[in-house]
């Protein structure tokens, strides 16, 4: 039987690959025997006559016949169970599928299976400042049997629910397995979690008993542990008793209290007497993060968790007797349950309780002969920043595999492990609390590419939903049923909340909010949470991309990107970057500029933070994950969600009411009238970019400057110097030096509405402005175009003082045609525009053709149409949504702002009436979303509002010329294509470019738009 594309003996440890993928490490085979994955394939060959050329072929079969895979794995695994293994799964829909409905088993019975040597090590508990505990499999079984006996005498049995607030030690493992042995389900929390946060969770499960560590330890922080547990017990009316896991004081509880030691002295419930329970017997109750409300209770079944963990431990991590697994975790995280299950593979596990400094965990890995070490990107970053070289300072000979999870593992961290720890496989694994397991992880025979998880979990059809070749990042979904899918949410009898959480977004696909790109070899690169995507000026920005680009910088110990939308002047969304600096580093202008340049060059202008703030620490959850939700609340002036669930809530105090978070408006004294224009420019530039030191070669766009930032820049320059420079001068030269020279030069002559974007040969392409009124948004497209034809931009009337803006598209077209004909007197004309600009270009084309002029083509980049002119169903949906949007607009404002908001809406309604009567609007600056945009210069607000008013009232008429519609790959909620197809008489040419409505004209997506333009202009 052939198996494995990469025969390790014939390959070097490292091999070069394509530049973007970084290094590759090829695993070496274990000396004692082939991997268990190979052994499983041999089993399939002998029993079913199946052979697989490689793991990809095995995965193809496992997905196509998932029932056959799980049946075969159950038979090969030797798991102890009774009943019938058929059917393997009832139902094909993930949401309702039931695995092995006729099978019975016991989770604890399988973990403590007598198939392994009773004298072998099962558990090592390392506790800071205390003696290390070591338990053999026989000793662990004895303790579990005795606690199971005590629970049974207390009347605890199948269906009961228990709570535990525990340090990571032997006691927690014993209680978990004892509860599983008798069929009770357990919820766990760590002592560092706030009492209210635990009450929010445990009060929903109504536990009968509470197990808890009560004695304080020197490294505890916050409220003393005894006080936390007392508050927790008082807040759980369902409690029948409390069980102390240590020597802490058990007096003062309103319910009977005992100790684990007393339970261990009683008669055991022998393993042979543990009941065989249904496959779906509830095992543990986990909790969602609670970022959108009260944490939901996720109910996980014993059979699904057992089967999935056995697959991951044995086939993916190749855990077996003789291995020692140490995972950096706490009892509040699902990785604790995952680690405990490794006992079922015959491996020993190590639990650590204590403070973590840079060398702490490496010390344990070396001292305890750990073979598989599980950690997190923050700890690897901590080790690197401390200058550790564990390969030189620690004896790591037994170490054969490193696992990492909890956040995204960056490319440079793979290199650090391979160069400074040991050249062993480093598996970035990801799944979560939702499935109590992994969607992507590694394989014992697969190469590891820096930045990637080597493969998807076997029998799971993992896809990047919505990805395209040009935009490979999509929503991580699973398209096949899997055993560890939760049984549901507790207290959700109809399953409505469960459906909404995982199935409402993509029908028939499990979706939990992660973003992923899947490479040609099947490896997965995680890109953070989709529900953490920021909306900056209408462009969606993934924080993971920012974190990736700033990872490994010697000055930065940590970064967090959040979106600010309050106060009202930030309503369009601004990006705030919080940075933790390493000792000795400072947020200098040079560092600020470098951050801005890298993000603008490698990502897009939308990824560049408007505000960069240094902080001492970032908020972390009790499991060590960064809490963007808490920081987002804080910067928006809201009470941070789940403050009690944070490990370091005090880190937020320094940012409360921070001046930089309250206003971006310029101080009048910043650059008083009469100063040298270059000094004024320096002061305004400093305000906008947060850089006190300015290099004359600093480029506006390279620093992440946007069209709105340009509008603010030139508006302030005019206010403070009286010099009215057009913002489009940035298209001729965007360096600080260029602007300083322009301030001292004569103003450009000619109409400012016509902007010669680039010279060339042949007939020009006329590009019409978008809603902003300016053509500065077209700068990325201008740079990306390969066509040598001239490019001319047409800007809106009203950007210059004394000019009222147009609020009618037909009037705009009449006004712009003479400007166009001054540049090109006769046709054929080529017209284009993005969004609103495409609509104006379309109307110009209609009027030119009506005047007898030829129009070659109109290139419309995702040009929308107001919902009232869309097909019936879309219009009805818009009408249904409109009142809700108005209500949302009202409720998102502070109480003192709401009356003014309603008054402004009244003025908008009055203007709509004036337009119907053929009169000009009085306050176009208030139209649509412009209300509250105080940070935008008044002239630009008026132009945007007038354009929006014009858009609202324009109904496209018939057109018999060539229309090219370049639509966004990530479509919005309304689809204008049917309208354009109808008005063109079915002659519409439809092309597609990656990105959404706004991001498609920014890097990197604008490259695809430019290719379409070049092809049309050739």
Query: Residues 6 or more apart from 859 whose CB is under 8 A from it?
Result: 765, 830, 831, 832, 833, 838, 841, 964, 966, 1012, 1013, 1016
The DSSP code for 315 is I
- Tell me the per-residue pLDDT of 210-250, one tens digit each, with 9 for 90 and over: 999 999 998 887 678 999 899 999 999 999 999 999 999 99
Distances (CA, A) of 776 to 507, 705, 708: 40, 11, 9
- Tell me the per-residue pLDDT of 828-863, one tens digit each, with 9 for 90 and over: 999 999 999 999 999 999 999 999 999 999 999 999
> How far, in Å, CA of 774 to CA of 602, rounded?
25
Q: Which run of H or of E encompasses 19?
A: none
> How far, in Å, CA of 383 to CA of 373, rounded?
14
Q: What is the mean pLDDT of residues 551-555?
A: 89
> How far, in Å, CA of 992 to CA of 977, rounded?
12
> How far, in Å, CA of 646 to CA of 283, rounded?
26
Select, from the ranges 246-250, 294-298, 634-638, 919-923, the one with the highest average predicted confidence (pLDDT): 246-250
> How far, in Å, CA of 929 to CA of 202, rounded?
43
DSSP 31-54: SSS--HHHHHHHHHHHHH----SS
The pLDDT confidence band at residue 931, using thresholds 50, 70 and 90, is very low
> How far, in Å, CA of 405 to CA of 407, rounded?
6
Q: Considering the chain, what is the average pLDDT of its residues?
A: 87
pLDDT at site 827: 93
Residue 6 has pLDDT above 80, yes or no: no
> What is the Cα 656 distance to its own chain's centre?
25
pLDDT at site 20: 35
Of the candidates 434, 190, 189, 179, the residue with the CA atom closest to the CA atom of residue 282: 179
Helices 195-205 and 225-234: angle between axes, nearest 10 degrees: 30
Residue 462 · residue 518 · CB < 8 Å: yes
The pLDDT confidence band at residue 694, using thresholds 50, 70 and 90, is confident
Residue 14 has pLDDT above 50, yes or no: no
- The residue among 633 and 145 whose pLDDT is bigger is 145
- Tell me the per-residue pLDDT of 274-297, one tens digit each, with 9 for 90 and over: 999 999 999 999 998 665 557 889
Opening angle at CA 587, ends 581 and 589, nearest 5: 155
Q: Which run of H or of E encompasses 566?
A: none
Residue 19 has pLDDT above 60, yes or no: no
Lowest mean pLDDT among 73-82, 143-152, 628-637, 734-743: 628-637
Query: Residues 6 or more apart from 663 whose CB is under 8 A from it?
Result: 567, 569
The pLDDT confidence band at residue 262, using thresholds 50, 70 and 90, is very high
Q: What is the mean pLDDT of residues 400-411?
A: 89
Residue 579 · residue 558 · CB < 8 Å: yes
pLDDT at site 441: 96
- The residue among 635 and 12 whose pLDDT is bigger is 635
CA atoms within 13 A on the CB side of 518: 19
Q: What does the buried/exposed string (b/e) look like for 289-300 if buried means 16 or more CB atoms within 10 Å of the residue's CB?
A: bbbeeebbbbbb
Residue 133 has pLDDT above 90, yes or no: yes
pLDDT at site 16: 37
> How far, in Å, CA of 797 to CA of 780, rounded?
23
> How much is the pTM?
0.71
Residue 95 has pLDDT above 60, yes or no: yes
Residue 906 has pLDDT above 80, yes or no: no
- Tell me the per-residue pLDDT of 365-382, one tens digit each, with 9 for 90 and over: 999 999 999 998 878 988
738 SS3 class: helix
- Tell me the per-residue pLDDT of 735-773, one tens digit each, with 9 for 90 and over: 999 999 988 888 777 678 999 999 999 999 999 999 888
Lowest mean pLDDT among 70-79, 102-111, 699-708: 699-708
Q: Is the sign of the CA dihedral 586, 590, 595, 598 positive or negative? A: negative
Tokens of residue 612, six digits = 């960069």
Q: What is the mean pLDDT of residues 153-163?
A: 96
Query: Residues 6 or more apart from 661 whose CB is under 8 A from it?
Result: 564, 576, 611, 635, 637, 655
Q: What is the mean pLDDT of residues 666-695?
A: 73
Question: Which segments of 496-555 are extended strands (E)?
Answer: 510-518, 524-529, 534-536, 539-541
Residue 1 · residue 51 · CB < 8 Å: yes
List the beta bridge partners of residue 577: 561, 612
- Tell me the per-residue pLDDT of 37-70, one tens digit each, with 9 for 90 and over: 999 999 999 999 999 999 999 999 999 999 999 9
Percent of the chain with pLDDT over 70: 89
- The residue among 445 and 571 whose pLDDT is bigger is 445
pLDDT at site 223: 76
pLDDT at site 664: 59
- Tell me the per-residue pLDDT of 506-538, one tens digit each, with 9 for 90 and over: 999 999 888 899 999 899 998 877 767 787 766
- The residue among 932 and 673 whose pLDDT is bigger is 673
Residue 934 has pLDDT above 70, yes or no: no
Residue 2 has pLDDT above 50, yes or no: no
Residue 670 has pLDDT above 70, yes or no: no
Percent of the chain with pLDDT over 90: 57
How many C-beta atoms surround the C-beta of residue 914 within 10 A? 13
pLDDT at site 308: 98
Residue 881 has pLDDT above 70, yes or no: no
Residue 190 · residue 173 · CB < 8 Å: no
- The residue among 621 and 663 whose pLDDT is bigger is 621
Query: Residues 6 or more apart from 948 whose CB is under 8 A from it?
Result: 771, 924, 927, 928, 930
- Tell me the per-residue pLDDT of 292-311, one tens digit each, with 9 for 90 and over: 557 889 999 999 999 999 99
pLDDT at site 669: 39
Of the candidates 311, 345, 335, the residue with the CA atom closest to the CA atom of residue 457: 311
- The residue among 669 and 239 whose pLDDT is bigger is 239
The pLDDT confidence band at residue 804, using thresholds 50, 70 and 90, is confident
Length of the chain: 1018
pLDDT at site 434: 93
Residue 91 has pLDDT above 80, yes or no: yes
719 SS3 class: helix
Distances (CA, A) of 568 to 585, 659, 934, 936: 34, 15, 8, 12
Query: Residues 6 or more apart from 281 whose CB is under 8 A from it?
Result: 107, 158, 183, 301, 302, 303
First and final C-alpha spacing in the chain: 55
């Amino acid at each position: 039987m052939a198996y494995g594309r990469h025969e390790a003996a014939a390959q070097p440890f490292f091999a070069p690959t394509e530049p973007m993928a970084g290094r590759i490490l090829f695993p070496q085979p274990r000396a004692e025997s082939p991997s268990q994955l190979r052994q499983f394939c041999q089993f399939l060959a002998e029993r079913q006559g199946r052979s697989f050329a490689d793991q990809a072929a095995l995965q193809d079969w496992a997905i196509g016949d998932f029932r056959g895979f799980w049946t075969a794995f159950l038979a090969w695994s030797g798991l102890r169970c009774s009943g019938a293994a058929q059917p393997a799964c009832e139902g094909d829909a993930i949401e309702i599928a039931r695995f092995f409905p006729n099978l019975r088993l016991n989770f604890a019975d399988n973990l403590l299976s007598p198939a392994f040597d009773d004298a072998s090590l099962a558990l090592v508990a390392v506790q800071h400042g205390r003696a290390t505990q070591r338990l053999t499999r026989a000793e662990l079984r004895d303790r579990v049997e005795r606690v199971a006996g005590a629970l049974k005498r207390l009347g605890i049995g199948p269906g009961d629910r228990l709570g535990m607030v525990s340090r990571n030690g032997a006691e927690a493992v014993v209680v978990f397995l004892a509860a599983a042995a008798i069929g009770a389900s357990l919820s766990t929390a760590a002592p560092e979690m706030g009492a209210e946060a635990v009450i929010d969770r445990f009060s929903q499960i109504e536990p009968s008993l509470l197990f808890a560590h009560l004695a304080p330890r020197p490294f505890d922080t916050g409220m003393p542990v005894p006080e936390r547990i007392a508050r927790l017990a008082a807040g759980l009316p369902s409690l029948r008793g409390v069980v102390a896991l240590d020597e802490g004081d058990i007096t003062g509880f309103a319910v009977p209290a005992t100790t684990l030691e007393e339970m261990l002295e009683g008669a055991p419930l022998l393993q042979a007497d543990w009941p065989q329970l249904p496959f779906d017997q509830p095992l543990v109750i986990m909790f969602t993060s609670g970022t959108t409300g009260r944490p939901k209770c996720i109910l996980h079944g014993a059979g699904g968790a057992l089967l999935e963990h056995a697959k991951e431990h044995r086939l993916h991590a190749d855990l077996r007797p003789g291995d020692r697994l140490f995972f950096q975790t706490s009892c509040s995280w699902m990785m604790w349950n995952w680690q405990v299950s490794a006992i079922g593979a015959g491996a020993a596990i190590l639990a650590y309780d204590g403070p973590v400094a840079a060398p702490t965990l490496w010390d344990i890995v070396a001292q305890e002969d750990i073979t598989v070490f599980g950690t997190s990107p923050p700890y690897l970053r901590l080790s690197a920043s401390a200058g550790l070289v564990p390969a030189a300072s620690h004896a790591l000979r037994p170490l054969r595999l490193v696992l990492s999870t909890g956040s995204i593992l960056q490319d440079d961290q793979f290199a650090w492990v391979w160069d400074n720890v040991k050249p062993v496989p480093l598996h970035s694994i990801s799944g979560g609390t939702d499935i109590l397991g992994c969607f992507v992880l590694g394989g014992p025979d697969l190469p590891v590419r820096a930045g990637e998880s080597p493969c998807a979990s076997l029998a799971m059809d993992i896809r990047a939903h919505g990805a395209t070749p040009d935009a490979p990042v999509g929503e991580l979904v699973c398209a096949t049923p899997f055993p560890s899918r939760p049984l549901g949410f507790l207290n959700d009898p109809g399953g409505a909340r469960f459906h909404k959480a995982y199935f409402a977004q993509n029908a028939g696909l499990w979706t939990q909010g992660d973003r992923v790109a899947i490479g040609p070899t099947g490896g997965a690169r995680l890109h953070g949470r989709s529900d953490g995507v920021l909306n900056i000026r209408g462009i969606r920005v993934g924080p993971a991309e920012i974190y990736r680009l700033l990872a490994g910088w010697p000055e930065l110990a940590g970064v967090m990107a959040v979106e600010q939308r309050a106060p009202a002047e930030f309503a369009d969304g601004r990006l705030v970057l919080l940075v933790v600096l390493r000792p000795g580093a400072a947020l200098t202008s040079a560092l600020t500029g470098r951050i801005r340049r890298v993000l603008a060059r490698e990502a897009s202008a939308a990824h560049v933070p408007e505000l960069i703030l240094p902080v001492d620490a970032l908020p972390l959850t009790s499991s060590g994950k960064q809490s963007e939700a808490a920081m987002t609340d804080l910067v928006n002036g809201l009470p941070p969600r789940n403050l009690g669930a944070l490990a370091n809530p005090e880190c937020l105090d320094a940012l409360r009411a921070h001046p930089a978070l309250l206003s971006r408006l310029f101080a009048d004294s910043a650059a008083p009238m009469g100063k040298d224009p270059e000094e004024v420019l320096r002061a305004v530039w400093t305000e906008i970019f947060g850089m006190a030191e300015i290099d004359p070669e600093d480029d506006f766009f390279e620093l992440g400057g946007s069209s709105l930032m340009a509008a603010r820049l030139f508006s302030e320059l005019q206010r403070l110097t009286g010099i009215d420079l057009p913002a489009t001068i940035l298209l001729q030269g965007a360096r600080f030096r260029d602007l300083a020279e322009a301030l001292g030069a004569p103003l450009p002559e000619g109409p400012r509405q016509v902007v010669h974007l680039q010279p060339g040969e042949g007939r020009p392409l006329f590009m019409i402005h978008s809603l902003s009124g300016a053509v500065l948004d077209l700068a990325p497209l201008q740079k990306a175009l390969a066509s040598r034809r001239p490019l001319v931009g047409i800007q809106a009337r009203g950007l210059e003082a004394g000019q009222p803006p147009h609020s009618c598209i037909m009037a705009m077209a009449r006004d712009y045609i003479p400007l166009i004909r001054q540049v090109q007197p006769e046709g054929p004309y080529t017209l284009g525009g993005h969004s609103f600009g495409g609509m104006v270009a379309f109307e110009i084309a209609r009027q030119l053709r009506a005047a007898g002029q030829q129009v070659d083509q109109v290139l419309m980049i995702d040009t929308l149409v107001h919902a009232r002119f869309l097909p019936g169903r879309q219009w009805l949906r818009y009408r249904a949504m409109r009142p809700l949007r108005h209500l949302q607009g009202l409720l998102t404002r502070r109480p003192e702002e709401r009356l003014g908001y309603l008054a402004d809406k009244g003025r908008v309604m009055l203007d709509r009436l004036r337009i119907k009567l053929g009169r000009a609007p009085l306050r176009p600056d208030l139209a649509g979303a412009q209300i509250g945009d105080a940070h935008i210069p008044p002239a630009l607000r008026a132009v945007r509002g007038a354009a929006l008013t014009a858009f609202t009232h324009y109904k496209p008429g018939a057109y018999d010329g060539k229309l090219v519609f370049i639509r966004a790959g990530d479509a919005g909620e309304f689809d204008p294509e049917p309208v354009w197809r109808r008005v063109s008489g079915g002659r519409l040419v439809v092309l597609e470019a990656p990105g959404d409505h706004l991001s498609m004209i920014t890097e990197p997506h604008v490259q695809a738009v430019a290719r379409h333009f070049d092809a049309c202009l050739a």
